[in-house]
Amino acid sequence: IGNTAKFECETEDAPNVSFKWFKDGHPIKEGDRLAVLECEIAGSEPFEVSWKKNKKRLSSDKKYRLVSQGTLASMEIQSFESADAGEYECVVSNEVGIDCIITKPAAIVDRPESLNVKSGENASLDVTVSGSPELKTTWFKDNKELSASAKYQMYHKKKLATLKILSTDKADAGEYKLQVTNHVGTASCKIKLSVSGLCSLCVLIFKFKFHI
């Protein structure tokens, strides 16, 4: 999971050959993005499963492929794009009753536009996020991705995503970006961090000794 898969096909003595790749009987186009939503079901079979997007029921077609096997229901969204973001529901029913599992796109709920700290202080960038299934959070500084280190600490607990910058200095000033993603959407926000120097007042006392 997470690795790149490469498939190769070789032909011999076959000029002017055209190729088409398929997945589960559906042709794959170059540049296609596939999103897969899964719903694990608990209860007594048989189940009846349906999917909705923004309260509207979906059916299997060229855009959506709905599959239900035992206790696992899934939906594949072909050629996923920004217009496909929205609230998806997996509705499951059996003889006992009906249950509904809702998936919501990643979203930024609240965040500071800017933050100012003094050199040497720690800076904490806190952003409230929402969405389900589980979100993936990624932090950037001046468009370069950051990773956890002795300088940066990253937390994501419930709805709060935090980047903590330890012992700030002038080099830490700049534009920080948080990107949150899940299977049904992506959202991001930017925060400007300013680092001011420490001020010190030096008083020079001169003592003069006069001789008369």
Q: Delimit the CATH 2.60.40.10 region(s) of the chain.
A: 21-96, 107-196
Q: What is the CA radius of gyration of the chain?
A: 27
Highest CATH level, class, for 107-196:
mainly beta
Q: Name the CATH superfamily, with its identifier, for domain 21-96.
A: Immunoglobulins (2.60.40.10)
Are 104 and 92 contacting, i.e. CB atoms less than 8 angstroms apart?
no
Are 139 and 153 contacting, i.e. CB atoms less than 8 angstroms apart?
no
Model confidence pLDDT, tens digit, residues 54-106: 889 999 998 999 988 888 888 888 887 778 878 888 898 888 777 777 788 88
Percentage of the chain beyond pLDDT 90 is 39
CB-based contacts of 147, cutoff 8 Å, min separation 6: none
- Its pTM stands at 0.60
Are 160 and 127 contacting, i.e. CB atoms less than 8 angstroms apart?
yes
